[in-house]
Chains A and B, each alone.
Chain A
């Protein structure tokens, strides 16, 4: 097996109290949901008709069902219970599907329009009203069928749930292979479901803190390849890298401004004091943001670009602070519960912060309502839950945790009701970063 192209495997675990669950085999993956939503919407995703006279080049319906089940908000019907497989609205016997307790039904087919080129045609119906919610045709080549299936799932998700789907997005993460002292560090970009992992950077020295540019074309990250931490920006399509910060001492925690022109980052002085700066990528100008003797790090921009959230232990232990870039002035402390609150991430709509909190020695993901600073909620139950990252639709948080002695990734919905674990087959996985909505 080629270690450079590992697959993320999704494991199925049922816990007591879980009312709904889904088990979907999709090629290499079996999805496992630790805790599904109690009122998951029942939907029948009927296998699509293959191109006439040919085998189906890809099981579109299976991947759509996998995505919908994985969100925890849907419960898809088992194929083997389908006595009938309609492919158009006219073929649907709605009474039968209603009797099988489906609220919605998705049908479609693939048409081969040329060698290596397909049209996917599909319709989503409300089973009770028998009305179509949507119908689309997607034209793509064989290699694009997987992405097209995710885009199809996004459409279904949005039509029913009312939030834009994030199935057709990508994640980045750090993979660590081998054992000390001979470890290999990799920076990997994969589809949001873990498929198609691609190693974009590999090193015998640590790699940290991948951060997506807002347009999804570049990753900033920290590399120790020069035996000191430096920040690189790498263009994903070409692999071209640019060293953007290699000041003496610490160069860490890069965070993109919403307009993609600046990086907030952490630097140190000779005495090892960490502070936050903003680097203009075009002019290379540096602006200092924090001036205090504590550790100030882990900056994040607000979506309007006007403030920075960051971690500071100026009051003793690490807490989350906010500083206005326009107004300047003192940073405002946002977290007060407990002695450890760090690594803030802001939701795409700016209404909520996710961060790491420590309670009774356990590190967990918590959220804070930014309109009401008292509304802190702890979402996870692990011992080592760190590195939260919001999906671009704000509905789910991806984070790193440890299970059975290994670093794995996990998902939790922002209301805490849906949880999922993603385990790599080889090595350890950490520091996930969810990419933006795709524009390609």
Chain B
């Protein structure tokens, strides 16, 4: 539908005619990507240490490798938490890093995705950088223990995917994290 807007100036006795044409904005939903179903990247993450093992779709080698390590608490831990404005891995997670590094080096076809996150405070794009820094800290720690570069992918979600909602430290402390997600 075309809408024409014409403006007529009436000031004193002078008459100025100016016309500008414009189309009525028609905004359609894009044909591609209008609703994108949720992917599988949230599997394996969430709460703190002691989370139960997440079954992996397909990937029987990966599932078997993880199943063989049943009852191994550090391997059960799939999330590492960080202090505010920090990307250093705290010493309490040393066992976790070691356990995952051992699993990955023992199974060179296994791949892991490290998802870096921040709490909601600060600017969104700078938080993408901080989340990436955290993911890289875990990646470096794994590689230091022999994990191959090709087995590790990092992604930063910054503040965009909190684990817990809330404008308080209880929530923020659960969002400053790296989720360790084994890929099928």
- Residues of A contacting B10 with CB < 8 Å? 135-137
A271: CB under 8 A from chain B? yes
Among the listed A202, A249, A383, which residue makes an inter-chain contact with B35, where contact means beta carbons less than 8 Å apart? A202
B27:A180 contact, CB within 8 angstroms: no
State which residues 76-126 of B face A: CB under 8 Å: 120-126
Stretch with Cβ within 8 A of B (4 or more), from A76-84, A235-243, A322-330: A235-243
A386:B124 contact, CB within 8 angstroms: yes
- Closest A residue, CB atoms, query B4: A139
B125:A252 contact, CB within 8 angstroms: yes
A60: CB under 8 A from chain B? no
Alpha-carbon distance between A358 and B139 when the two chains are bound, in angstroms: 30
Alpha-carbon distance between A272 and B11 when the two chains are bound, in angstroms: 62
**Contact code string B121-147 (vs A, CB < 8 Å = 1, else 0):** 111111011101101100100000000
B170: CB under 8 A from chain A? no
Among the listed B3, B28, B38, B121, which residue makes an inter-chain contact with A182, where contact means beta carbons less than 8 Å apart? B38
A69: CB under 8 A from chain B? no
- Residues of A contacting B133 with CB < 8 Å? 272, 295
Alpha-carbon distance between A239 and B28 when the two chains are bound, in angstroms: 6
**Contact code string A122-143 (vs B, CB < 8 Å = 1, else 0):** 0000000000101111111101
A209: CB under 8 A from chain B? yes
A295:B129 contact, CB within 8 angstroms: yes
Interface centre among B122, B125, B133, B165 (most CB of A within 10 A): B125
Interface size class of A (residues with CB under 8 A): 35 or more
Main secondary structure on A side of the interface with B: strand
Q: What is the count of residue pairs linking A and B with beta-carbon distances less than 8 angstroms?
A: 184
Number of B residues near A (Cβ < 8 Å) is 60
Alpha-carbon distance between A208 and B124 when the two chains are bound, in angstroms: 8
- Closest A residue, CB atoms, query B21: A440
Q: A144-B5, A148-B5, A241-B32 are in contact. Are A363 and B122 (CB under 8 A)?
A: yes
Interface of A with B (CB < 8 Å)? 132, 134-141, 143-144, 147-148, 151, 179-183, 189, 198-206, 208-209, 223-225, 227-229, 234, 236-241, 249-250, 252-253, 266, 268, 270-272, 274, 295, 297-298, 311, 313, 318, 340, 342-343, 356, 358, 363, 383-384, 386-387, 402, 405, 430-431, 438-440
A-B contacts, 14 listed (Cβ < 8 Å): A180-B162, A205-B36, A206-B157, A209-B124, A223-B33, A237-B23, A239-B28, A240-B30, A274-B129, A274-B132, A311-B123, A386-B124, A438-B22, A440-B22
Q: Knowing that A200-B29, A272-B154 touch, tell me 16 more A-B residue pairs with CB under 8 angstroms.
A: A137-B7, A143-B3, A181-B42, A198-B27, A208-B125, A227-B39, A229-B155, A229-B156, A253-B125, A266-B125, A268-B132, A343-B125, A356-B122, A383-B167, A405-B166, A440-B23
